[in-house]
């Protein structure tokens, strides 16, 4: 009790004695000076403890809580589409997505058997275009499929959506890194790309795992904000003899028409081609490969082994 009573006494007496007879106090043998310093020390320590606690909580929140947050089952987008070009690819990509407990909608790609691809290719040929493009059915199938997804997203009024293709591998820490991207994503944004290829970045612009894009290609993993859906539909309205990524990303991003941000290094990659596993950009195409496997760009974007979901699940390549 003494340790409580003495400071209390001293508190009461100090105001009393100061009025009555500042400096001395005959009734209490306790030295005022030492009581003052005890109180000061007591409160000093208290304040110190509070400051330390407050600071640690603040620092903890700053440093860890962001990385502890995890994106939801649609990775923070309103919706996820997965474009499946071949049934056997689904067998490969589904376990990858399941590992991360993602909710997504499968969109079956248009193949050369579909009317839209057949008609479009015939039209291109009639115009004398793309006669020598060996993978023209693939390009047209890709164009028709991605556009159909955007039209669906427009109709459903999704605020944002992520489009994935079926030959992807994703980082084992996908949800956490995508969330860290969201935490740093400026508004307004047009494209949030977890898996760009051939990226070029705006110098000096970095925020968490994000960089601002000045250039990019590839459609295997990209997020779109609703505000640009009609634009990308317009930009791609005319069927090209080139990839759809060139129409809606490479050109517009390079031209500064879009606010596009990417996670760098990528957290969604396309598995590399090899001679047994050629590109399926040509959905259902007889043509085996569009480029020799050794010239393929994809090996440059591979994950370290421990970061690959496919490795973790010991997934065979597609068959």
Ligand X SMILES: *[C@@H]1O[C@H](CO)[C@@H](O)[C@H](O)[C@H]1NC(C)=O
CA distance 185 to 207: 8
Cβ at position 108, least distance to ligand X in Å? 19
Cβ at position 78, least distance to ligand X in Å? 4
Binding-site string for ligand X from residue 81 to residue 120, where x marks contact by CB under 6 A and - marks none: ----------------------x--------------x--
**Residue 78 sits in the site that holds ligand X (CB under 6 A):** yes
**Number of chain positions touching ligand X (CB under 6 A):** 9
**Residue 121 sits in the site that holds ligand X (CB under 6 A):** yes
**Residue 234 sits in the site that holds ligand X (CB under 6 A):** no
Nearest of 117, 105, 115 to residue 144 by alpha carbon? 117
Q: Which is nearer to ligand X, 37 or 119 (CB)?
A: 119
Q: Which is nearer to ligand X, 76 or 199 (CB)?
A: 76
Q: Which is nearer to ligand X, 73 or 230 (CB)?
A: 73
Cβ–Cβ under 8 Å, residues 147 and 177: no
The 10 Å Cβ neighbour count of residue 286 is: 8
Cβ at position 160, least distance to ligand X in Å? 7
**Residue 34 sits in the site that holds ligand X (CB under 6 A):** no
Cβ–Cβ under 8 Å, residues 255 and 192: no
DSSP 8-state class, residue 308: B
- Report whether the peptide linkage leading into residue 265 is cis, meaning its omega lies within 30 degrees of zero: yes
CA distance 109 to 162: 16
3-class DSSP assignment, residue 170 = strand
Residues 47-76 that bind ligand X (CB under 6 A): 72-74, 76
Cβ–Cβ under 8 Å, residues 298 and 292: no
Binding-site string for ligand X from residue 192 to residue 221, where x marks contact by CB under 6 A and - marks none: ------------------------------
Cβ at position 184, least distance to ligand X in Å? 16
3-class DSSP assignment, residue 212 = strand
Nearest of 246, 250, 196 to residue 220 by alpha carbon? 196
**Residue 123 sits in the site that holds ligand X (CB under 6 A):** no
CA distance 293 to 272: 8
The β-bridge partners of 160 are 225
Cβ at position 125, least distance to ligand X in Å? 6
**Residue 284 sits in the site that holds ligand X (CB under 6 A):** no
**Residue 122 sits in the site that holds ligand X (CB under 6 A):** yes
For ligand X, the binding residues (CB under 6 A) are 72-74, 76, 78, 103, 118, 121-122
């Amino acid at each position: 009790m003494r340790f409580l009573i003495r400071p209390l006494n001293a508190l009461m007496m100090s105001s009393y004695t100061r009025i009555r007879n500042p400096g001395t106090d005959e009734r209490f043998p306790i030295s005022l000076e030492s009581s003052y310093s005890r109180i000061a020390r007591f409160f000093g320590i208290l304040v110190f403890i509070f400051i330390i606690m407050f600071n640690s909580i603040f620092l903890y929140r700053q440093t860890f809580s962001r990385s502890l947050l995890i994106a939801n089952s649609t990775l923070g987008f309103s919706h996820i589409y997965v474009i499946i070009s071949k049934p056997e690819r689904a067998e490969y990509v589904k376990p990858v997505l399941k590992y991360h407990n993602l909710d997504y909608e499968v969109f079956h790609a248009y193949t050369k058997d579909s009317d839209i691809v057949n008609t479009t290719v015939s039209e291109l040929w009639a115009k004398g275009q793309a006669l020598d493009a060996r993978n023209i059915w693939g390009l047209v199938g890709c164009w028709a499929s991605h556009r159909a997804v955007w039209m669906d997203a427009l109709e459903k009024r999704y605020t944002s959506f992520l489009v994935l293709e079926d030959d992807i591998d994703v980082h084992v820490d996908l949800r956490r890194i995508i969330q860290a991207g969201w935490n740093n994503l400026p508004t307004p944004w047009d494209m949030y790309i977890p898996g760009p290829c051939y990226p070029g970045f705006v110098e000096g612009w970095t925020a968490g795992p994000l960089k601002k894009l000045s250039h990019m290609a590839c459609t295997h993993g990209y997020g779109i904000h609703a505000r640009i859906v009609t634009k990308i539909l317009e930009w791609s309205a005319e069927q090209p003899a080139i990839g759809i990524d060139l129409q809606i990303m490479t050109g517009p991003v390079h031209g500064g028409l879009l606010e596009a941000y990417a996670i760098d290094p990528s957290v969604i990659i396309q598995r590399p081609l090899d001679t047994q596993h050629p590109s399926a950009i040509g959905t259902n195409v007889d043509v085996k490969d569009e480029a020799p496997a050794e010239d393929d760009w994809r090996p440059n974007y591979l994950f370290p082994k421990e970061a690959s979901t496919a490795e973790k699940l010991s997934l065979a390549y597609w068959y």
